[in-house]
Chain A
Amino acid sequence: MADSQKDVPFKSVQVEALVVMKIVKHCSSSFPTTATGSIVGMDTNGVLEITNTFPFPTVDVSSTDSHQNDASSLAAAAPRAKANIAYQNEMIRHLKEVNVDANNVGWYTSATMGNFINLSFIENQYHYQRDNDKTVALVHDVSRSSQGALSLRAFKLSNDFMAAYKEGKFTTESLQKSKLTFKDIIVEVPVIVHDSHLLTSFLHQIPALPDNPTIDLPTSLDDIRRDPARIPAHPSFDALDVSIDPFLEKTCDLLLESIEAHYTDLNNHQYYQRQLTREQFKITQWQTKRKAENAARLAAKQTPLPEDEWQRLFKLPQEPSRLEGMLNAKQVEQYSKQVDGFTANITSKMFAVRGNLLPE
């Protein structure tokens, strides 16, 4: 990814604490349905500052479980829906009046275990990036954040991919020519969390590690229970949770899904290729037949029939787009990196547990 770093107009994304909280709140309250919203901010000296955000209105699908997927897909498509573009402009106009940065700099979406790379994501980001190069997609992973560490990542499409997507052609030939691989689709931008001065002051009032060495000692067990120790928010002790297996399992499921998608994609291509061979075979047959006929007519001193009529008679099948396959490959890469991260985590925890339970 390092080589594609150069075509990014900004080096990092600086997210205000307010934005972090708002996104997390919106995403987790609508979980497991996908949540999307718009972000505003400005770009200064190669850092894209994201200073405020607002959610997109959700279409009111009846909230039964069977419609959950509909709601999800609608929400996923929200950033490029016409009604929402109007909503976004209206909202930004209003925010401008209270001195909020009035530049749209992209959008955010929620994800579960890193399963955000799909056509919808690409289309949304393309929609934004087409008009303004300095836009970014923030992805908040609700499931991963529940393990203790916040998972908020920023992505944008690479310029090569933008060009390719504009043409809308993802055939083998065009990919060979442009040398575009799945690794070049999206570029990740490092995210930095930033607090304002006033907020820093506020946050220091929220429980931190006890700094006063002499505290009043409790007189009974009840005292301790009544006034439990306040656990500071950072570093979060949720990260020490030993049960990580559900996460691994979920990722495995998603991986298998991806393999399935990969397989479907391959089948499509095989079908296309068989179809192509068959058509080409027919054409060759027709051509040889026509040649023989012409030879016969020439011998009989007649005018030869045209030999390029096959272009009208036969139609070559359209090559299916390679984009799905590329996205799938990217998604698999993302999953396996995630598994690597889990493994690193769980093995260290397991060694810690063993060391604790089995004193040398």
Chain B
Amino acid sequence: MAIDQEHFVHLARPLAPSVLGYGGSSAPLAVNIQPQAVFSIIDHAVRRDIRDTQSTRVIGALVGIRSEDGSEVEVRSTFAIPHTENEDQVEVDVEYQKNMLALTLKASPRETLLGWYTTSHELNSFSALIQNFFASPETGTFPHPAVHLTISTEAGQAIETKTYISAPVAVNAERAAESCLFIEVPHKLLFTDAERAALGSVTAAAENENRSAPIVSDIENLAQALETVSDLLERVSGFVGDVMDEEREGNHALGQYLMNALSLAPKVAPTAIENDFNNHIQDVLMVSYLANTIRTQIELAQRLATAPLVGGEKEGEKKEGEEGAKQEGGRPSRGGKRGGRGGGRGGGQRGEPREPRESNE
């Protein structure tokens, strides 16, 4: 799932002569940002310390994966870097950045340093300074361009993200370190399927007034989903009803779309459905029943094992033997493989000599 996708004009980036020697490419760069990276940045912005700095922005490093040809980067995680910024100077804790990068890469060796982020859209000479630091051969991403991500975290306004790469530009050699040309590149916020569930519960929390929500069970989740779906269906049928009653202008495209969707409904004979339904539900209920039986048996076995009477174990084992037999019998439609396995063991146990002590069933 990708959001924040928009049409984008790629600008060619002026190449520095030194880059050419390394075969640096001028191919467009696409930046994919994973949600936890954004979440980290936002968390960092909330936790900023403004006691000994005049700036309200924070900076940090972007870590992630670069595709082989370098035309696509994926920001997977970030870490914060302490920095102070005053009117005429900026101080970044380089040592900290180095150590933290080493620590982060130790846990995920496949990732590399990609660039840096800050929490304001302003690009100034300090930005250029830091950008050159991150793009330099010794401490940065050279020969690949360093990505600069800006997120506006102004309270009460929409949170916008922008990504840039840079090209060196300067009037003379002395000023090269503190100037560079930022070029905006497109970026996407990318959610993988695995994150959908997590995002769901996080969004659920965002919809509550106290910004927190308990983790719901599967069945509650199902109920919520069903309610939403039935609301949506209601809406569609309301629209269709309005069109039928000529209270609203119809729409051909929508009508066609709905027809296509409805024609996908399968036509199955009622008896077949009834049959399948009964079979399946019996299977499911049987599995549930067996699972609970096993639980009871094992619980009993545990109780008996520590109960102050002799021979408790044998009873537990006996029951278990019967369990295997039950499994064999109770699974008519679900492939012989597993049933056979359980049954085989059950049979094996039955064949074993054991104390003739009857359990109290």
Which residues of chain A have a CB within 8 Å of any CB of chain B? 14, 16-18, 20-22, 24-25, 28-29, 31, 37, 51-52, 54-58, 60, 87, 90-91, 94, 97-100, 142, 144-153, 172, 175-176, 181-182, 190-209, 217-221, 223-224, 230-240, 248-249, 251-253, 255-256, 258-260, 262-263, 266, 269-270, 273, 322, 325-326, 328-329, 332-333, 335-336, 339-350, 352-354, 357-358
A14 close to B201 (CB less than 8 A): no
Q: Which of B46, B198, B225, B226 contacts A196 (CB 8 A)?
A: B46
Contact residues in B for A21 (Cβ distance below 8 Å): 35-36, 39, 195, 198-199, 202
Q: How many A-B residue pairs have CB under 8 A?
A: 344
Which residues of chain B have a CB within 8 Å of any CB of chain A? 1, 3, 34-36, 38-40, 42-49, 76-77, 79-82, 93, 96, 99-100, 103-104, 106-109, 153, 155, 158-159, 191-207, 211-219, 221-222, 224-229, 251-254, 256-257, 260, 266, 268, 270, 273-274, 277, 280-281, 284-285, 287-288, 291-292, 294-295, 298-299, 301-303, 305-308, 313-314, 316-317, 320, 323-324, 327, 334, 338, 341-342, 345
Which of A90, A192, A248, A259 has its CB near the most chain B CB atoms (within 10 A)? A259
* Known contacts A16-B43, A57-B107, A191-B214; A28 and B194 CB within 8 A of each other: yes
How many angstroms from the CA of A216 to the CA of B153 in the assembled complex?
A: 32
Which of B99, B202, B284 has its CB near the most chain A CB atoms (within 10 A)? B202
A341 close to B219 (CB less than 8 A): yes
Closest residue of chain A to B299, judged by CB?
A329
Closest residue of chain B to A270, judged by CB?
B313
A24 close to B48 (CB less than 8 A): no
How many angstroms from the CA of A344 to the CA of B280 in the assembled complex?
A: 14
Contact residues in B for A153 (Cβ distance below 8 Å): 215
* Known contacts A24-B195, A198-B45, A256-B342; A235 and B228 CB within 8 A of each other: yes
Closest residue of chain B to A333, judged by CB?
B295
Please give the distance in Å from B295's CB to the nearest CB on chain A: 4
Contact residues in A for B284 (Cβ distance below 8 Å): 248, 342-343, 346-347, 350
Please give the distance in Å from A92's CB to the nearest CB on chain B: 11
A176 close to B270 (CB less than 8 A): no
How many angstroms from the CA of A168 to the CA of B160 in the assembled complex?
A: 56
A349 close to B82 (CB less than 8 A): no
Please give the distance in Å from B96's CB to the nearest CB on chain A: 6
Interface SS of chain B: helix, strand, loop or mixed?
helix
Contact residues in B for A149 (Cβ distance below 8 Å): 197, 200-201, 216-218, 221-222
How many angstroms from the CA of A205 to the CA of B199 in the assembled complex?
A: 13
B257 close to A262 (CB less than 8 A): no
How many angstroms from the CA of A296 to the CA of B196 in the assembled complex?
A: 86
How many angstroms from the CA of A62 to the CA of B187 in the assembled complex?
A: 34
B200 close to A150 (CB less than 8 A): yes
Closest residue of chain B to A12, judged by CB?
B214
